[in-house]
Chain A
Amino acid sequence: MHDRGLNDKLERLHEPDSANRPRPEHRSELEGRLVSRYRTAQSRKRRWLIMLNPWNRTARFALVGLAVIMLGVGACTTSTTTEVDMGKKMSIGFSAKADVDMISIDTGLSNFLETQPGIENVSVSISETVDGPKLIEVVAWGQDLDGDALVAELRRQVPEFQDADISFETLSGTIEESFASKMKRQIFQMEVDGGTEEEIRAQILAQLAEQGVAEGDAVVEVHMENGQTEIKVQIEQEVED
């Protein structure tokens, strides 16, 4: 009782002094500047991962390039809209009685998500009440992730989730495909370590070759200007029906 009283007094003694605090608008101004720098830093940092999949900007470009070429070759299919599995949304609930160590959970969940193949991006939200249930919502983006396997693996790898109430739903979207049945959304994954235009081009061609694309079937253009690097990849391949 006495301790609580002294603690209260000490907390009141150290209450923030509003006299010299930054102006309210400073928070948003600084946020704008930081986010701008963050974006620049991230775009530089990224080892230009090129995923030729339907919901990636680079991929869409490549898809269009590929579509045009394929129409030239095949010219036998019509445009269709196809629903695709874009990821999984997992809801993980802990009962109010559960002894939940959020630090272990955070660490376990982060390590798990970082090592799962196929997950391209992820967002996590945690809602809590002091005495009530705790809910973690994970949105994992990636092509055709196996929800059941993901949940089973999560329970296996992170003991804290063994008794948690976990459910998931599929996040779906639609894409326009000119030759959906033929292309089967083939994915080419490439990582580029930087260098001159010619060096980057050579790296991409080498990786395409490793994935079965003959040099004559691929056209790679690399253009650097004002610190930006634009990479265009066109692949010409005949695909069996």
Chain B
Amino acid sequence: MDLKKRMRDGRHGLWLRLARRGNEDAFRRLYGELYDPVAGYIAARTGNVHDAEDLTSAVFHGFLERLDRFEAGKGSVMTWILAMARNAVIDHHRRLDAHGSARRGSVPVEELAEVLAADHRDPDQWDTLGSLIRNEDLRQVRQLLRREPDDVREMFALRFGQGLRVREVAAVMNLGEAAVKQRFARTLRKIRQELLTEEPEPKGGPECMIAD
């Protein structure tokens, strides 16, 4: 898993450098591998296909304009473009909010935390959509996660939804790596304990014994 990601990051770094030097094939390959993660990230945080397409396009146009500004020492290409996608989502929701409430000025990022956590859909729809949680185990984990602050849920969405490493999650959210690592560890420990506490009695244990 880790080797695969390192290979991916190495490949992207190389393609980006070649794309800067005018290698169109490298640029196409890079786009081909970045499109799905970016579109998926944005789609989970926007309300409709139209907005998702517009934002995805805007992010890639920005990526192209800033091609020369990428600094390899500061993280992977994937982290870099997902940070752009995150900013695009923040700006998009600020615009929507300003338009909806007819007020000027920007909305603090903290107010958009739930959107960025990518878990803002109506929980009742999860089963109706039939595309996500279908079993009790997952439902428990989801419920436990939903009790966590929005920024922690965003960390989990980036880690488990986008497949980023802790260091990359920290880079995308502009937070310290140590702090992110600590919050992951604490939350995972808490979820594990809660799951153990809520774990039902083993099915059919005593009955089996009686049957025996």
A-side residues, CB < 8 A to B, are 2, 6-7, 9-23, 26-27, 30-31, 33-35, 37-39, 41-42, 45-46, 101-103, 105-107, 109-110, 114, 121-124, 126, 128, 130
Query: With an 8 A cutoff between CB atoms, is B70 at the interface?
Result: no
Given A34-B61, A35-B24, A37-B61, A13-B138 contact (CB < 8 Å): yes
Choose, from B100-108, B154-162, B173-181, B204-212, the stretch at the interface. B154-162
- Number of A-B pairs, beta carbon distance below 8 Å: 142
* Cα distance, A107 to B145, chains bound together (Å): 39
Given contacts A27-B39, A38-B64, A126-B14, 8 further A-B contacts (CB under 8 A): A6-B195, A9-B138, A13-B132, A13-B133, A13-B142, A14-B160, A38-B19, A103-B6
Are B156 and A31 interface neighbours, CB within 8 A? Answer: no
- Which listed residue, B49, B57, B138, touches A23 by the CB 8 Å rule? B49
Are B60 and A9 interface neighbours, CB within 8 A? Answer: no
Q: 9 A-B Cβ contacts within 8 A?
A: A13-B133, A13-B145, A19-B131, A20-B52, A26-B56, A31-B35, A34-B27, A45-B22, A126-B11
Are A109 and B43 interface neighbours, CB within 8 A? Answer: no
Given A6-B191, A7-B160, A110-B56 contact (CB < 8 Å): no
Most-contacted residue by chain B among A37, A42, A106, A128 (CB, 10 A): A106
Are B14 and A110 interface neighbours, CB within 8 A? Answer: yes
- Which listed residue, B4, B7, B51, B141, touches A10 by the CB 8 Å rule? B141
Query: With an 8 A cutoff between CB atoms, is B31 at the interface?
Result: yes
Q: Which residues on the B side are within 8 Å of A109 (C-beta)?
A: 14
Please give the distance in Å from A117's CB to the nearest CB on chain B: 15
Please give the distance in Å from A141's CB to the nearest CB on chain B: 11
Are B7 and A102 interface neighbours, CB within 8 A? Answer: yes
Of chain A, the residue at the smallest CB distance from B49 is A20
Q: Which residues on the B side are within 8 Å of A126 (C-beta)?
A: 7, 10-11, 14
Please give the distance in Å from B137's CB to the nearest CB on chain A: 6
Are A128 and B7 interface neighbours, CB within 8 A? Answer: yes
Contact residues of A: prevailing secondary structure: helix
Q: Which residues on the A side are within 8 Å of B31 (C-beta)?
A: 31, 34
* Cα distance, A2 to B196, chains bound together (Å): 11
* Cα distance, A17 to B72, chains bound together (Å): 31
Please give the distance in Å from A33's CB to the nearest CB on chain B: 8
Given A102-B6, A107-B13, A14-B49 contact (CB < 8 Å): no
* Cα distance, A9 to B144, chains bound together (Å): 12
Are A30 and B60 interface neighbours, CB within 8 A? Answer: yes
* Cα distance, A19 to B52, chains bound together (Å): 11
